[in-house]
Amino acid sequence: MQVSIACTDHNLKRGNGEHSKQNATSPNVVNQARAKFRTVAIIARSFGSFTPRHISLKESTGKHTGMKYRNLGKSGLRVSCLGLGTWVTFGGQISDEVAEQLMTMAYESGVNLFDTAEVYAGGRAEIILGSIIKKKCWRRSSLVITTKLYWGGKAETERGLSRKHIIEGLKGSLQRMQLEYVDVVFANRPDSNTPMEEIVRAMTYVINQGMAMYWGTSRWTAMEIMRRRRRDQARERGEGRGEGGWRDGGRERGGGREKARGREVGREGGGGRETRRIEGEAYSVARQFNLIPPVCEQAEYHLFQREKVEIQLPELYHKIGKCVGAMTWSPLACGIITGKYENGIPESSRASMKSYQWLKEKIVSEDGRKQQAKLKELNHITEKLGCTLPQLAVAWCLRNEGVSSVLLGTSNPEQLTENLGAIQVLPKMTSHIVSEIDHILANRPYTKKDYRS
Q: Which residues are annotated as catalytic?
A: 120
**Rg (alpha carbons) of the chain, rounded to whole number:** 25
Nearest to 333 by CA among 315, 351, 355, 352: 351
Q: 95-104 long-range contacts, Cβ below 8 Å, gap at least 24?
A: 96/128, 96/131, 98/411, 98/412, 98/413, 99/128, 99/129, 99/132, 100/132, 100/135, 100/136, 101/413, 102/410, 102/412, 102/413, 102/416, 103/129, 103/132, 103/136, 104/132, 104/136
Residue 54 DSSP SS3: coil
Sheet of 59-61, strands arranged across: 59-61, 68-71, 78-80
Nearest to 114 by CA among 97, 124, 126, 98: 126
Within 10 angstroms of residue 394's Cβ, the number of other Cβ atoms is 28
CA distance 252 to 14: 63
Nearest to 299 by CA among 277, 280, 324: 324
CA distance 241 to 239: 6
Q: How far is CA 116 from CA 140, 225, 248, 328, 334, in A?
A: 16, 22, 26, 13, 16
CA distance 399 to 428: 10
CA distance 222 to 251: 24
For 183-197, b where at least 16 C-beta lie within 10 A, e where not — what string? bbbbbbbbbeebbbb
Torsion of CA 77, 78, 84, 88, to 10 degrees: 20
Residue 146 DSSP SS3: strand
